[in-house]
Copies of this chain bind each other. A is one copy, B any other.
Amino acid sequence: MKAKIYIKYKEGILDPQGKTVHNALESMDIKDISCVTIGKYIEMDFDNISKESAELITEDSCKKLLANPNTESYTFEIVD
C-alpha cells in the first residue's frame, strides 16, 4: 500500500522557483508555456494496513507536517 501526495502552492501565492524555471525554459527556446509551478511529490509506503488506515495516516501527516496550511494545498491518492 502506498500514498502518492501532491503538494502545491495555493492560488495567488508567489512561486519564485516556478518563475525561474519558466524563464530558463524560454531562454532555452522551449516556448508555448504560459506558467510553471513547482511543488512537492511525496510517496509514503505502508506496512500491512488497510486502505482506510492509510488514508487516515496520510491525511494526518499532511495536516501536521508535510504541507504548510498557510501557503500550500495538498491532494493524495492511495494505491496498491
Listed in ascending order, the chain A residues whose CB lies under 8 Å from chain B are 6-8, 18, 21, 24-25, 28, 30-47, 49, 53, 57, 60-61, 64-66
Contact = CB atoms under 8 A, between A and B. Distances in A.
Oligomeric state, in copies? 2
A42 B40 CA distance: 8
A37 B33 contact: no
B47 A34 contact: yes
Contact of A41 (B21, B31, B39): B39
Given A21-B66, A65-B28, A33 B43 contact: no
A32 B45 contact: no
Contact of A37 (B25, B28, B31, B42): B42
